[in-house]
Structure 1
Amino acid sequence: MAYARHQSFYIRDKWFSKGLRAVKQDKRFFFDEYAFETVGLGKNMLESLKYWLLAFNVLEERTEDGQRVHALSEIGDILFESDRLLQRNESLSILHYHLVRNGNDLSTVFDWYFNKYRETIVGKRDLFNSFITWVSQNEAKAVSKNSLKRDIDCLIQFYTKVPDVNDPEDVLFCPFSRLSLMKSEHSGERDDTIRKVASKISTIGIPALYYVLLDYDQISEDRLIGVDEIVNAENLWGRIFNLTRNKVVEALNILTTHDKYPIEYIRTNNLDYIRLPMVSSIDYIKGEFFERMTY
């Protein structure tokens, strides 16, 4: 598990595009001592940018000819070609999913908050203390409380740092605030209240929801998955996007009418299941981003 690798910086507007473009032009970009000057970021910010791209699963590190290099992953290539400025919410939702899924073991606090932490309303101090408790129970070695505090602070800013409506040149907001998955409410001198928010299906985007389903590791060979699992299992809609069962069913009903890859409802032993088509998450999202969306 990893903590505070973001250098205390949530990802800023336009960072994503800068990072992907730089790696496209030079696989050794993030190993260049003066790379920060190329993209106009400080050294710590550049290190943070590299962290976010790896945590989003859009960047892969490998060895070529004895040197470490970076390359875009399949989903990284798709987003670079179709929406590198992250103007579409479904792009943000897919990246949010990869953060929460934590496949590279880089974004522990996101995995913990959305997948494991069940409270929906909590004071910021209690949220921090709950994270400390969980880490102490799951780590063999002690982790600095300062690192854990930086993680909680970054997590909250990541989803709540909205643009300043009075400053059209504001570049300090986080694009992921558009997903409306969290609120931070100030109460005078009292502790801030942090709320998980159930976003609208239209805000998340049906393509992103379908991508998450198709990318789920636990799909059985007959492509069946239970509705209850979609609501309650880690790395699925209920946990990742704070969706209620009613919202999950609403989205599934929309997917039954998909013109190319419709899902099918199955009822077995009084339990509701859906059957997914034989298409990978990558092939599906390529079709959605390149064939269906207008520019």
Structure 2
Amino acid sequence: MAYGQHQSFYLRDRWLNKAIKHLIEDERFFYDKEAFEKIGLGKNMVQSLRFWVVATRVVEEKFNNDRKKIHLITPLGNIIYKYDKFIQFRDTASIIHYNLAKEIEPATTWYWFFNKLNEITIKKENLNKSLNDWVVFNEDKKISIRSLSRDVDCLIKLYTAGQSILDPEENIQSPITKINLLKENKGNIIKNSPSIDDVGDTALLYTLIKYAEDQGIDNVSVEEIATKKGLWGKIFNLNRATIVNALEKFTNQPKYSIKFTRTNNLDTVRLPEISSLEFLEFEYKRKVETLV
């Protein structure tokens, strides 16, 4: 499990675009001594950005033939860079969030907060204690309380920074605030239950197809969607009523619809026969054409 690798800097607007742009030109950009000058960020921010591009799955870290680390843009990263490099779509923000929170590494605190922490409202000091208790129980090695506290601070800022700022060019803006998953009020950290529009139709169906793809299945139950780690109820804080409404809406998709079977014992969803990336590119191409 991994903690505190973000150097205390949450992801900012335009950062992913900056990173991909430079990685297209140089797969070892993050090891360039002049990287911080080329990208226009501080040295620690560049290290933070290296973490964020991998954690959001737009870039993967590998070794080249010389056993040197390189960073390659993933198919997902290429789609985002091609169609929504400035993260204007809520769907993109939701997919970035999904990739951060769906698995235990490399952003363990994000995974814990959305998949394991059951409280909807919690005091910040209690949030720190709950994370520490979970880490002590699940880790063999000792993790510093300071590192965990930095993770909590960074998580909160990632979902709330810039919420009240009107200028989208403001350099403290986080690209993920737009999906309204979290708010801070008088020391309380509150998980919001967003609307379908907040998350985005494309993101919801993409994440469901991706889950089924990863699991090697073609159908999933509503109970799983509502309660299982890595799915809508956990990752997006969606209640069961909103989940059912979204599924009913997706039965009427013009191109890639689902089959939603409702019975007394088990409500199941059969997913369209398309890969998650093919679906995402189809939807993003359609979105861009609509905007032109």
The TM tier, using the shorter chain, reads over 0.9
Deviations 1:32-69 (A, max 9, x none): 11101001101100000010000001111122231321
Farther off after superposition, 62-71 or 157-166: 157-166
Partner of 2:97: 96
Where structure 2 has 5 or more consecutive residues not aligned to the other structure, the ranges are none
| Paired amino acid for 1:25 | E
Q: Unaligned stretches of 5+ in structure 1?
A: 187-191
CA offset at residue 217 of structure 1? 4.8
Q: Please give the alpha-carbon distance, in whole angstroms, between the structure 2 residues aligned to 1:158 and 1:53.
A: 14
Percent of aligned positions that are identical:
39
Moved more, 61-70 or 272-281: 61-70
Who is 2:200 aligned against? 205
Q: Contact 2:12 / 2:175 at 8 angstroms: preserved in 1?
A: yes
SS of equivalent to 1:79: helix
Q: Which residue of 2 aligns with 1:265?
A: 260
Contact 1:86 1:92 in 2 (8 A): yes
CA contact (8 A) 2:212 2:220 kept: no
Q: CA deviation at 1:24?
A: 1.0
* 2:189 alignment counterpart: 194
Query: For 2:62, what is the secondary structure of its paired residue?
Result: strand
TM-score (normalised: structure 1):
0.93
Residue 88 of structure 2: aligned partner: 87
> Which residue of structure 2 aligns with residue 189 of structure 1?
none
Residue 275 of structure 1: aligned partner: 270
Q: Which moved more, 1:164-173 or 1:89-98?
A: 164-173
Report the count of equivalent residues: 289
State TM-score, norm by structure 2. 0.94
Q: Judge which range, 169-178 or 227-236, deviates more.
A: 169-178
The answer to whether the 8 A contact 2:56-2:97 is kept is yes
State the SS of the aligned residue for 2:19: helix
The list of structure 1 runs, each at least 4 consecutive aligned residues, that deviate by more than 6 angstroms after superposition, is: 218-222
* Counterpart in the other structure of 2:234: 239
1:248–1:167 distance in 2 versus 1, CA, 3 Å: closer
State the partner residue of 1:170: 170
| Paired amino acid for 1:255 | F
The residue correspondences of 1:106-145 to structure 2 (distance < 5 A) are 106-145=106-145
Deviation digits for residues 233-284 of structure 1 (CA, Å, limit 9, x no counterpart): 1110011110010100111011101111111122456211111122111111
Correspondence for 2:7: 7
